[in-house]
């Protein structure tokens, strides 16, 4: 009698002393809660990014869009193509190739603005590129995914949830637009919101790593190829972005800015889209890649920033010893700007 009572208290179906325990729905509940929290935090991060945009300066870059055009080619030309090449070269699973491509199609993250500041970059261009790429991702991400996943979707290997991805992207436009309006009306309050959003961005990355580790415990036991891709991908973004900007005749200051905007992707957005768009079975193979990319893009950026600081100190030392080099540099730099009215020299 006591055994039957104990069973009734802990089971859904009992026949005599034999009971069947109900399936635990803990993971499902945690997944729903995580999706809601991710969406809220990402909206806050994007809202704070909008608070960092000055409408007048943003419109100024739109009117003289050469720098933004170069950034656009890097963001939605180089990165998706590089993601496709790496996926095919390393012969990873189609579902893993999808997350690599989603990462490559993501707009620049707010971290790029911070790093651009420390690298003496063009801050107005950096913020404008981040904003434009976020807005343009609404159409460019689905387009790039359609083009580069065609070899897998045509064979029926994978199905891209364009509706879920599109919904996630549309939802981002609203907080960014509101943030721009807030910065226009109340610039002092916008600065406070920006700090809160930066903290929320860090918390978002930690939350994704911790909760994702609980929900998808087997996701960290992934193919080592994804770790290699996660290392090569940001290096390719930084270097090719810098190279293309220089070929386009941009100043060194803008080259550094475009490089950071190209390689520094919005990993929070990628994690959220993946979480909201794919099944738990698919997430086991793809969930950790945004975290891997996030780690290596920061590590590599820190190394590049350290090298730049060393170079700057060495350059200043030589500059003090040979002051005439300044005049020579000014002449060589200014010749680039005379070639195109959209070029602007670095502010000294």
Note the pLDDT tens digit of each residue in 274-322: 877 787 778 778 878 888 898 898 899 989 999 998 988 887 666 655 5
Is the confidence at residue 90, as pLDDT, over 90?
yes
Out of 79-83, 278-282, 323-327, give the one with best mean pLDDT.
Answer: 79-83
What is the pLDDT, as a whole number, of residue 215? 59
Neighbouring C-alpha atoms within 13 Å toward the C-beta of 105: 27
- Judged against a pLDDT cut of 60, whether residue 99 lies above it is answered with yes
CATH of 25-339 given 2.40.30.10, 1.20.1530.20, 1.10.420.10, 1.10.357.10: 1.20.1530.20
What share of the chain has pLDDT > 90, as a percent? 18
Q: Which residue bears the tokens 């739109």?
A: 62
Please report where in the chains the tokens 């590599």 appear, as a residue: 300
Asked if the model's pLDDT at residue 93 lies above 70, the reply is yes
65 pLDDT higher than 80: no
Q: Which of 86, 82, 66, 68 is nearest to 237 (CA)?
A: 82
**pLDDT at residue 341 in the model:** 40
pTM check: above 0.85: no
Cβ–Cβ under 8 Å, residues 30 and 211: yes
With a cut of 60, say whether residue 241 has pLDDT above it: yes
Name residue 19's beta-bridge partners: 14
Domain residue spans of the chain: 25-339
Question: Which H or E run contains 14?
Answer: strand 13-15
Lowest-confidence range among 19-28, 159-168, 244-253?
19-28
Residue 10 dihedral angles phi and psi, to the nearest 5°:
-125, 5
Tell me the torsion sign for CA atoms 297, 299, 302, 303.
negative
Instruction: Please indicate whether residue 316 or residue 257 has the higher confidence score (pLDDT).
Output: 257
pLDDT in tens, 172-201: 777 777 888 888 788 777 777 777 776 766
Ramachandran class of 64: left when φ > 0, alpha when ψ lies in -120 to 50, beta otherwise? beta
pLDDT at residue 82 greater than cutoff 90: yes
Mean pLDDT of the chain: 76
Say how far apart CA 279 and CA 241 lie, in whole Å.
34
**Dihedral Cα 92, 93, 94, 97, nearest 10 deg:** -40
Residue 217 scores a pLDDT above 60: no
Task: Name every residue whose Cβ is closer than 8 Å to that of residue 88 and which is 6 or more positions away in sequence.
Answer: 97
Among the residue ranges 56-65, 149-158, 280-289, the one predicted with the least confidence is 56-65
Q: Residues 239-267: what's their mean pLDDT? A: 91
């Amino acid at each position: 009698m006591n055994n039957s009572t104990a069973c009734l208290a802990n089971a859904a179906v009992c026949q005599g002393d034999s009971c069947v325990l109900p399936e635990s729905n803990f993971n499902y509940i945690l997944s729903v809660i995580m999706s809601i929290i991710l969406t809220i935090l990402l909206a806050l991060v994007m809202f704070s990014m909008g608070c960092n945009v000055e409408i007048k300066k943003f419109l100024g870059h739109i009117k003289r869009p050469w720098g933004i055009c170069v950034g656009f080619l890097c963001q939605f030309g180089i990165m998706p193509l590089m993601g496709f090449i790496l996926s095919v070269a390393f012969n990873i699973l189609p579902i893993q190739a999808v997350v690599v491509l989603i990462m490559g199609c993501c707009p620049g993250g707010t971290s790029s603005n911070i790093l651009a500041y420390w690298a003496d970059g063009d801050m107005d261009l950096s913020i404008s590129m981040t904003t434009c790429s976020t807005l343009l991702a609404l159409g460019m991400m689905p387009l790039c995914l359609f083009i580069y996943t065609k070899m897998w979707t045509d064979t029926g290997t994978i199905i891209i949830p364009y509706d879920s991805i599109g919904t996630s992207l549309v939802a981002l436009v609203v907080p960014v637009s509101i943030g721009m309006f807030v910065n226009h009306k109340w610039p002092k309050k916008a600065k406070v919101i920006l700090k809160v959003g930066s903290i929320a961005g860090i918390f978002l990355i930690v939350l994704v790593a911790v909760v994702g580790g609980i929900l998808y415990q087997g996701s960290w036991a992934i193919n080592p190829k994804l770790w290699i891709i996660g290392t090569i991908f940001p290096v390719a973004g930084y270097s090719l972005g810098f190279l293309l900007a220089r070929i386009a005749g941009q100043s060194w200051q803008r080259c550094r800015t475009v490089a950071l905007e190209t390689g520094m992707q919005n990993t929070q957005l990628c994690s959220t889209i993946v979480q909201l768009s794919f099944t738990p079975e698919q997430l086991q193979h793809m969930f950790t890649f945004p975290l891997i990319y996030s780690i290596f893009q920061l590590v590599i950026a820190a190394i590049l920033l350290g090298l730049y600081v060393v170079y700057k100190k060495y350059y200043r030392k030589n500059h003090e010893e040979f002051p005439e080099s300044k005049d020579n540099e000014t002449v060589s730099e200014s010749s680039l700007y005379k070639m195109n009215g959209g070029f602007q020299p670095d502010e000294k």
